[in-house]
Structure 1
Amino acid sequence: MAESRSREWDGNHTTVTLFVLLGLSDEGQLQLVFFPIFLGIYILTLTWNLGLILLIKMDSHLHTPMYFFISSLSFTDISYSSSIIPRMVSDLLKSKKEISFLACAIQYFVGAWMGLAECCLLATMAYDQYVAIGNPLLYSAIMAPGFCGKMASGASMSGFFWSLVLTVSCFHLYYCGPNIIENFFCDVLQIISFSCSNPFFSQIVLLLSAVFVGFGSFFVILLSYGFITASVLKMASVKGRSKAFSTCASHLTSVTLYYVTGFSVYMRPSSNHSLEQEKVISVFYVIIIPMLNPLIYSLWNKEIKEALKREIKRAMGLPQ
């Protein structure tokens, strides 16, 4: 039934009008188990990221470039999760997981926008770490509020531009064949493989976005940490070195999780692809990391812990 309703006649050809998402599993009982788990993860993601944004906004001690970028990252993670998880969770209660062609394009556009913007934000945060450690005396002058705002806006605009180009290039293709996506979201790599027209241009755009945004941001991160390492090695104080490395620990953890899983999904040879493995990695990449990021930046951060204590005391009417 889904197959017949998923196409429309266009002259002598049929055009795909919707896709079918197979989700994480086709077993009904397993889907009922997944529902509260992933709903809980989404609620935690919203709660922790919104809580971190509010804490940074409310506490004047956290009005610094580093925490401005952390709050920007939290907003990006909320938007990224919200583009995929609500539909994925609702699909767990449905027997037919259909998504229209337009809805699929919108989901991919928003998800790609936030994902690419996060790459740029992580690179921006690496540069911020380098300035703080390598040029502490000039830090306030270099990382002025206006400059930080422009960097965050630039990260978002870069993600928006490349996501728009990717979405147009991929979804303008002619689709007349298979329409079943073996994943819980609109996986563009699978969708392009369904195309009945030549996907060469779309594949080139995907490659360019990976090079300019993915590898470009990764190169900036590596370069920044190369300079950070050189600056730390010049420090005479062991305590100073330890403090510098602890400052970078949360960002390094976030970068490692994001890029290792991202490369695992998009950079593996097709011969090594296992759809089940890809689903597991996608869950971690799309769902788990946005939940973990606020914890990573909170649990290892003394200033955020102290700010949280101050706000709790203020809410309870206790002396600061």
Structure 2
Amino acid sequence: MSPIIRFDGVHKTFGDGPKAVHAVEDVTLDIENGEIFGVIGYSGAGKSTLVRLINGLERATSGTVWVDGHTVSALSEKQLRPLRTDIGMVFQQFNLFSSKSVAENVAYPLRVAGWDAVRRRERVAELLRFVGLADKAQARPAELSGGQKQRVGIARALASSPKILLADEATSALDPETTREVLGLLRRVNAELGLTIVVITHEMDVVKYLCDRVAVMEHGRVIEMGAVYDVFSNPQHPATRRFVGTSLRDRPSPEVLDRLAATHPGTLVTVGVQEDTGSSARIMRTFADNAVDGAIVYGGITEIGERPFGSLTLSLTGQATSIGQALAELRTFTDVQEYPALTGRERA
């Protein structure tokens, strides 16, 4: 793959003087042709400004943004128009015309682009079949569910056969089941149509399910970036660890640990489970080989890119030396966290 989008030392500042807002600060990253790239951050992190720099709705204060071989900041508004036809956009609030039918909403960008009526009808019918709404062509947006509205939004964004699709919080207004359906559709768009997709979100679950790589933003800066599995399994920045924690919920909170310590007589430990460092079967085999009993009392395993990841919290009983040896062996291939201060007791 080769980059279709590139940021090189990009800054975007709104206003001047002491009240200036530095929305994007010194961002350098490449987005490869054909990948699904996630940009995640809390509100105000600068992620929406970043995506608006891609289609030229905002211009960089300094630095360079390249899109499909074009330097966006060097293009006039007139020169940007053909580039924007290669960039579709899906919005959080759908942005549909309430007075127009589903077919008319999808046809709107084609009408603006000057397509004749016959070509418009053919293209709209093709797109509505692709997103599973062929039977809703004459319905109005008010007659649709949230998921159906977003499918219309995706069909409209695909109307001009773009190379890049920008999805700005595209699932934030949807319930979990509908979110998964829309994310599945975006996967199809990427796999079957070959589009590069840039996903802006504050939801790590979206990144986990959909994206190949992710950039984490805070205060306008990219603080961490990499393959989604690597960022999940070994987050380096505190903000990234918070995002991962909200998605996995696989490690007990201090309150839960207190309850577990009160009800389980063994030594409490949390052990990471990763595809490339060992499965739960390998972990349990290590305990068995050292004559240690391990009862699972908390945890969760999820899939990231069809690869398992998560952690298990166990209550261990056995000889102190045996437990120590087992944990030492586990640390050679996975993360181990002990909670000795909770128990206040010696190992038997």
With the length of structure 1 as denominator, give the TM-score of the two structures: 0.19
Higher strand share: 2
Higher Rg of the two aligned structures: 2
Report 1 or 2 for greater relative contact order, CA contacts < 8 Å, sequence distance ≥ 6.
1
Higher helix share: 1
